Amino acid sequence: MPMSNTFELIDSDATEKFGAKLWEKLPEKALIFLHGDLGAGKTTLVRGLLRAAGVTGAIKSPTYAVIEEYSVAQRKIFHFDLYRLADAEELEWIGIDDYLNQNALCLIEWSCKGAGVLPKADINIYLTHQENGRKLEIDDLNF
């Protein structure tokens, strides 16, 4: 089991800044699962990562679309939100393997909804509410 690091993030700005720092550390191709309750900061973290990558304009959770695609800095990024999936097999209908087999960064919120279809993540990030802000745990990336 990989070692993990824990960070205290006092607010949304700190969460976005962590996402920007994460962008600098990630390989071109990786499967990342973002774990946490509603409002824990998963999309906020992704927003910080995408801003650091060079995405401009509105960045929203793909809750209804299931996936948002970005091409920036000669890299592909796919942001999935599986919250509304009724069955993991729906991932096969949207062509999940086609996305995962690309040389791309795949960020998946609510990966538990894809259990049995999704492969094991390269990196897991856990966000939990705290009295003051949130706690983030991430597999060891030498932060």
Cα separation of 54 and 14, whole Å? Answer: 18
Q: Report the alpha-carbon angle 135-24-37, nearest 5.
A: 25
- DSSP calls for 66-108: SEEEEEETTEEEEEEE-TT-S-TTHHHHTTHHHHHTSSEEEEE
pLDDT in tens, 23-54: 999 999 999 999 999 889 999 999 999 999 99
Residue 143 confidence class, pLDDT cut points 50, 70, 90 = very low
In a domain, 94, yes or no: yes
Listed residue (18, 51, 45) closest to 33, CA to CA: 45
In a domain, 18, yes or no: no
In a domain, 63, yes or no: yes
Q: Which domain holds residue 106?
A: 30-130
In a domain, 17, yes or no: no
Cα separation of 131 and 126, whole Å? Answer: 16
Listed residue (111, 133, 129) closest to 120, CA to CA: 111
Q: What's the confidence (pLDDT) of residue 73?
A: 75
Q: Kind of pairing, strands 104-109 and 123-130?
A: unpaired
CATH number for 47: 3.40.50.300
- Among 22-31, 51-60, 77-86, the minimum mean pLDDT is found in 51-60
In a domain, 137, yes or no: no
In a domain, 101, yes or no: yes
Q: What's the confidence (pLDDT) of residue 57?
A: 82
Q: Which residues pair with 8 in a beta bridge?
A: 135
Q: What is the pTM (predicted TM-score) of this model?
A: 0.89
Number of domains in the chain: 1
